[in-house]
Structure 1
Amino acid sequence: MNRNLLIVNEGRILCSTSCGTEPYPGRVCAPSILLNTWQNLPYLRAVSAPAPQGAATLSHYMAPTSPYALILDDHPLVAHGMAEFLRARLPQMEVVEAAGADDLLRRVEMRGTPAIALIDFWLAEGAAVGLIAQVRSHCPGMPIAVISGDDDPAVMEQARQAGAQGFIHKQAAPETFGLAVEALLSGLVWFEPGLLGSQPPRSRDLPVTPAELGLSTRQGQILALVLQGLPNKRIALQLDIAESTVKEHVTGILERLRVRTRIEAITLLRGRRLELS
């Protein structure tokens, strides 16, 4: 690597010396320059950007042997889908899927700071706000993208306050997802509040009611939230029912739809618009 290529200040690239201009705080190089050098960011952050005073650090803070992205989503198929997309879009980058919050932290300590971490806001144990803050303190210079199917603007704001530099809605197009990741790898932020709650039904979607699917009214309400990507705990909180009740209803919904997983249910109902009233 040409060590004269980048100038780093507090973990952020300010300018390439090839830009032809003097760097100054807040200046960011063209994305093409930044994207050509993202694979060196973890090393640069580790040796050039000391952690803020008082920030927690890992016991074995080291540069990773190779750049990698770290993904945590409690829906394995969703995590695998994101991983496969990133492998195709960024073939130089290794993509690692964490099995849970503890596994994510263990991998960071064992392998060093990732180039980027993508974390689902709603995990099996609840909101990931605490985990995001913990990862931020461990890896102060690393971009964190929060992924969620939740349309509540407060979710995005909580993610931002916890230390995330980006928020990507699960209803975003794959190209948007790719652009967001590339922007974050370039040292930029990615928040698009206009996307939240602004996804109108497609005009070609066929309306369908819970009754037409053989579901009860309550099952229809739960299915609508499942289609938004919400986990059982979030559904239970929103409907003010026990999580065990949600699990029973989800099992019944999958059986009625003759599918095995939530992803299969979403795929089955693609092109349909669930109407609850």
Structure 2
Amino acid sequence: MHQDYALVVDDHPLVASGIANFLNTHCQFKKACVVTSEDNCYRHILDYGPPRLLVIDFWLSSGTALKLLKEIKERYPKVRLLVVSGDENNELCLKVRHAGGHGFVLKNESPEKFARAVMALKENKEWFPVDDPAAVVSDNDLLRKFNLTPRQIDVINMMMRGLPNKRIASQLSISEPTVKEHISNILKKIGVNSRVEAITLLHSKRGSSQ
């Protein structure tokens, strides 16, 4: 039987407890429980019934949460599924949606945005803010005006989110020297001398185009 409580699945107990407490104090859940693994998640549901909301960290100690998402979706279709992650790779959001998730929130988002996501799911809506798809297309159109390649667009979008070269290299599966080479070429095409100038210029152009 469907139960009106929330269940948090995160292999970092302190983080999980923080999310559970927030669900109690700000999201109108009278009860929010915590488990630290997939096995414990299934065991908890068998013991206490499926929750109204399941909040899952994308990266668990056993791997990604995609398998858990798909199985919960099949077994308990009424459970609302919200995935959280500290990984800013936009592909994760798409993977969550394809696996049957109902929402995705980055861990560095504000508590208010997390609360809005939870409320959206409670109202049987979805929450997949991929930086507003329309805005992303608009931004990429702007970047193409500088004749940037698709890979260079990936790099500069990550630069504008404040990611260092090491993180950019890791997320794109390329080397740091390759990232530096891309950035050098980007600066030449945009006509600036530093990444700070590039970010400032593009922010101003994005602002004026909205």
TM bracket, shorter-chain basis: 0.5 to 0.7
- Aligned residue in 2 for 1:144: 81
- Aligned residue in 1 for 2:194: none
Structure 1 residues 109 and 190: CA distance shift in structure 2, 3 A: same
CA positional deviation for 1:90? 3.3
Output the CA distance in 2 between the equivalents of 1:173 and 1:190.
15
1:178 maps to a residue whose letter is A
- Aligned residue in 1 for 2:127: 190
Structure 1 residues 127 and 166: CA distance shift in structure 2, 3 A: same
2:55 to 118, 131, 139: 118
2:70 maps to a residue whose letter is A
Output the CA distance in 2 between the equivalents of 1:157 and 1:137.
19
- Aligned residue in 1 for 2:70: 133
CA positional deviation for 1:84? 1.3
Output the CA distance in 2 between the equivalents of 1:181 and 1:90.
7
Structure 1 residues 194 and 186: CA distance shift in structure 2, 3 A: same
CA positional deviation for 1:94? 0.2
| Secondary structure of the structure 1 residue equivalent to 2:82 | strand
2:47 maps to a residue whose letter is M
Output the CA distance in 1 between the equivalents of 2:29 and 2:20.
13
Unaligned runs of 5+ in 1: 1-61, 202-208, 210-219, 226-234, 241-277
1:88 maps to a residue whose letter is T
- Aligned residue in 2 for 1:81: 18
Structure 1 residues 239 and 101: CA distance shift in structure 2, 3 A: farther
Structure 1 residues 90 and 153: CA distance shift in structure 2, 3 A: closer
Aligned residues: 149
1:182 maps to a residue whose letter is M
| Aligned CA-pair RMSD | 2.9
Output the CA distance in 2 between the equivalents of 1:95 and 1:70.
6
- Aligned residue in 1 for 2:30: 93
- 1:105-254 correspondence to structure 2 within 5 Å: 105-194=42-131, 200-201=161-162
2:15 maps to a residue whose letter is V
Name whichever structure is richer in helix by fraction: 2
Percent identical residues: 32
| Secondary structure of the structure 1 residue equivalent to 2:19 | helix
CA positional deviation for 1:239? 8.8
TM-score by length of 1: 0.48
| Secondary structure of the structure 1 residue equivalent to 2:113 | helix
CA positional deviation for 1:92? 4.5
CA positional deviation for 1:164? 0.2
TM-score by length of 2: 0.63
Conservation of the 8 A alpha-carbon contact between 2:69 and 2:100: yes
Output the CA distance in 2 between the equivalents of 1:129 and 1:92.
25
